[in-house]
C-alpha cells in the first residue's frame, strides 16, 4: 500500500472516488468493517462539502504506521470561501444548502481526532484521524 | 447506470447493487415516483443489502423518497441495512425515524402486507 494518496475533488463523481480510496486504505490498514464504514462515510461528507461549498479541493490520505499505533489521517483541503463561524457549522442540523447539516458534526463523531483550520477568502483545511483499536 | 425497478403485483421492488453517487440517487428518486404514478403501486421495498455506505446526502434522498411515495399513496419499506451502515447513520445523527424497515426483502414484503392490510 502506498502510505500516501490524494484525490482531487472537482466533479460530483470524485466524491465516490474519494470514499473508495478511503475504504481501500482502511481495509489495508486492518480497520474493522464498522470503522471502514465510518472512515468512508466521513470522507464522503468532507468530499461533498468541498464539491458543494468550495468547488475544488483535495482529500489527502496518510497512513500512520508507527511502532505502537496504526491509523489513517484524512485531510480535506480547499481554497474555497472559508468558514465564518466554526461553532455554527459544527451544530447538528446547521446547513446553508438545505442539507441535513449532519456532515461536519458527524465527521467529528465518526473519527477519533478532528480539527478545522479556515480563513475567509483563503480556504479550509479539515484534518481527521482514526486509530486502529 | 439507473437503478432497476421491478414490478410484482401491486408492489415495486428495488435492490440497490451499485455504488450510489448523488446523480444516481436523484435519478432513482424521480424514476421511482414516476413508476408509482404509472403503475399505481401501493407498496415499495428498497433493499439495501449491498450498500456499504450511506452518507447524509444519500440518507436525505432516501428519507425524501419515503415521504414523497407516502404522499402518492405508496408505503415504502427499507430492508437489509448493514450493521455498519446503521451504526454510522446514528453517529452521523441521522435516525430515519418513522421509516419502516425490515431485515430482508422477504420480511419487507410481509411488513407491507401487514401495513396495507391485504
Ligand atoms: N469546505 C467548506 N468550505 C466552506 N463552507 C463549508 C465547508 N464545509 C462546510 N461548510 C459550511 O458548513 C455547513 C455545514 O456543513 P455540513 O455539516 O456538512 O452540513 P450540510 O453539508 O448538510 O450543509 C454547510 O452548509 C456550509 O455552509
Ligand atoms: Mg455536508
Tell whether ligand 1 has an atom less than 6 A from the beta carbon of residue A124. Answer: yes
Checking if the pLDDT of A1 tops 80, the result is no
Pocket mutation for ligand 1, best pick of A103, A110, A115, A118 (most atoms within 8 Å of C-beta): A103
Q: And the C-alpha cell for A7?
A: 484525490
Checking if the pLDDT of A123 tops 90, the result is yes
Whether residue B59 and residue A92 make contact (CB cut-off 8 A), yes or no, is no
The contacts of residue B110 (CB under 8 Å, 6+ apart) are: B102
- CB contact, 8 Å: B50 with chain A? no
Which CATH architecture does the domain made up of A4-131 adopt? 2-Layer Sandwich (3.30)
pLDDT, averaged across chain A: 97
Convert the pLDDT of each residue in A28-83 to its tens digit: 999 999 999 999 999 999 999 999 999 899 999 999 998 899 999 999 999 999 99
Q: What are the domain boundaries of chain B?
A: 6-113
- Which listed CATH number (3.40.190.290, 1.10.10.1100, 3.30.750.24, 3.40.50.720) goes with B6-113? 3.30.750.24
Q: What is the pTM of this model?
A: 0.95
pLDDT confidence band for B47 (50 / 70 / 90): very high
Mean pLDDT of B41-49: 97
CA of residue A101 to ligand 2 center, whole Å:
6
Mean pLDDT of A6-22: 97
Q: What are the domain boundaries of chain A?
A: 4-131
The SS3 of residue A120 is coil
pLDDT confidence band for B1 (50 / 70 / 90): confident
Q: And the C-alpha cell for B16?
A: 440497490
Checking if the pLDDT of A99 tops 80, the result is yes
Amino acid at each position: 500500500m502506498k502510505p500516501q494518496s490524494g484525490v482531487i475533488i472537482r466533479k460530483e463523481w470524485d466524491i465516490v472516488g474519494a470514499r473508495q480510496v478511503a475504504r481501500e486504505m482502511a481495509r489495508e490498514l486492518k480497520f474493522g468493517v464498522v470503522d471502514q464504514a465510518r472512515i468512508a462515510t466521513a470522507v464522503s461528507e468532507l468530499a461533498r462539502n468541498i464539491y458543494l461549498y468550495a468547488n475544488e479541493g483535495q482529500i489527502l490520505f496518510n497512513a500512520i504506521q508507527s511502532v505502537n499505533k496504526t491509523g489513517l489521517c484524512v485531510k480535506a483541503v480547499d481554497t474555497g470561501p472559508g468558514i465564518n463561524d466554526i461553532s455554527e457549522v459544527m451544530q447538528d442540523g446547521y446547513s446553508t444548502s438545505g442539507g441535513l447539516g449532519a456532515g461536519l458534526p458527524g465527521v467529528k463523531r465518526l473519527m477519533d481526532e478532528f480539527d478545522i483550520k479556515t480563513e475567509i477568502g483563503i480556504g479550509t483545511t479539515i484534518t481527521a484521524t482514526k486509530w486502529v483499536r | 447506470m439507473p437503478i432497476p425497478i421491478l414490478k410484482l403485483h401491486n408492489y415495486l421492488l428495488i435492490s440497490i447493487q451499485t455504488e450510489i453517487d448523488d446523480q444516481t440517487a436523484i435519478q432513482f428518486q424521480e424514476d421511482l415516483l414516476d413508476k408509482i404514478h404509472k403503475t399505481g403501486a401501493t407498496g415499495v421495498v428498497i433493499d439495501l443489502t449491498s450498500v456499504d455506505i450511506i452518507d447524509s446526502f444519500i440518507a436525505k434522498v432516501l428519507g425524501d423518497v419515503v415521504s414523497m411515495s407516502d404522499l402518492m399513496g405508496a408505503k415504502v419499506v427499507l430492508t437489509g441495512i448493514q450493521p455498519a451502515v446503521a451504526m454510522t447513520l446514528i453517529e452521523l445523527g441521522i435516525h430515519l425515524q418513522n421509516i419502516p424497515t425490515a431485515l430482508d426483502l422477504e420480511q419487507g414484503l410481509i411488513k407491507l402486507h401487514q401495513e396495507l392490510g391485504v
